[in-house]
Structure 1
């Protein structure tokens, strides 16, 4: 694996990466422009350093690139069609067939359940891992976003990712080269969300 150049980690740099991170959606990607695999590996390496109670490291990732994106597209559309029942929508079915092809990489996000700790802690650990991925993408100028749409909550979809019944599929992280940057973000005043006791 080739090393990706590191970025100096001064407090100012870290603050900047955190505060400028934005979700960049597929319609903002430059279709057909790949992200270097080594940047994806850097995202995954940083995900692997998320906090984890009892070091259970519950995060599991399946990366789809190249032709495997088409396989994912066909499989997820078929699962949706088979199990959506009365909620089936043709537009969503078509979207599931097209969405992966607009991306450079699609990363399926899963939680491998460990009964040694409460499930909430495992979910939180995976979420921290995904945040590390998002911040890494931002640092390298790559677009991406975490979605829990599509087949995320269809139980039968777990088989695609070798997940047991107690495990969870937690969505997909879509990655692409940025064509249209996201605008400035907004957050409410932190002072309104903090109770500070002395």
Structure 2
């Protein structure tokens, strides 16, 4: 698959679509290696990751559901159940973190953008490997310091759910690029 086909075939594949086939550790390592080659201004390499497999996924689900119930005035049972179940359905979850440059040598948005590019690399690698994935960034990520040992200046930007899936993923459409570009001579 050439790079343009790979980009066009990238999709969000959600935990409800995953089957029980495990993701090989070597594939997770390859996905993380792809992330490590993202562009980074001033070479700060702000991306940090924590990989959750096995019981750690279940612990994340319980943490998120308890935190949701504790911080929501009227928690919904369906959302609570989804927070518990989705992590268990994933073959692996990569917690996406950003380590802010301690020198503050560049704007924070550039560090966030670098992490987002690292995640896009992971997404494209997953597409190439036939692994479904999805970047989830619920409001609950603001509490991840209670679940993980976040270092000084490190923040959680979400969860990268991954899993094998059966069947086809629906095609996406985009409006033509010409509608989004202005040319100046």
| Corresponding residue number in structure 1 for 2:167 | 180
C-alpha displacement of 1:150:
5.9
Determine the C-alpha separation between the residues in 1 that align with 2:134 and 2:27: 15
TM-score (norm 2): 0.91
Describe the superposition over 1:121-164 as per-residue Cα deviations: whole angstroms up to 9, x where unpaired: 01100000000000000001111111112622xx3322323225
Give, in whole Å, the separation in 1 of the partners of 2:59 and 2:91: 14
The equivalent of 1:5 in structure 2 is none
**SS of equivalent residue, structure 1 residue 72:** helix
Equivalent-residue separation in structure 1 for 2:118 and 2:177 (angstroms): 24
Q: Is residue 2:78 matched to residue 1:91?
A: yes
Conserved 8 A contact 1:79-1:157 = no
1:166: Cα distance to partner?
A: 4.3
What is the number of residues matched between the two proteins?
Answer: 183
Structure-2 residue corresponding to 1:3? none
Which 4+ stretches in 1 moved above 3 angstroms? 164-167
3-state DSSP of counterpart to 2:147? helix
Gaps of at least 5 residues in structure 2 are none
| Deviates most, 125-134 or 110-119 | 110-119
* 2:140 equivalent to 1:151: yes
| Aligned 8 A contact 1:28 1:180 in 2 | no
**Range that drifts further, 183-192 or 67-76:** 67-76
CA shift, 1:181, in A, is 2.6
Q: Secondary structure at the match of 2:57?
A: helix
**Which segment drifts farther, 66-75 or 137-146?**
66-75
Confirm or deny: 8 A CA contact 2:16 2:86 kept in the other structure: no
* 2:42 alignment counterpart: 54
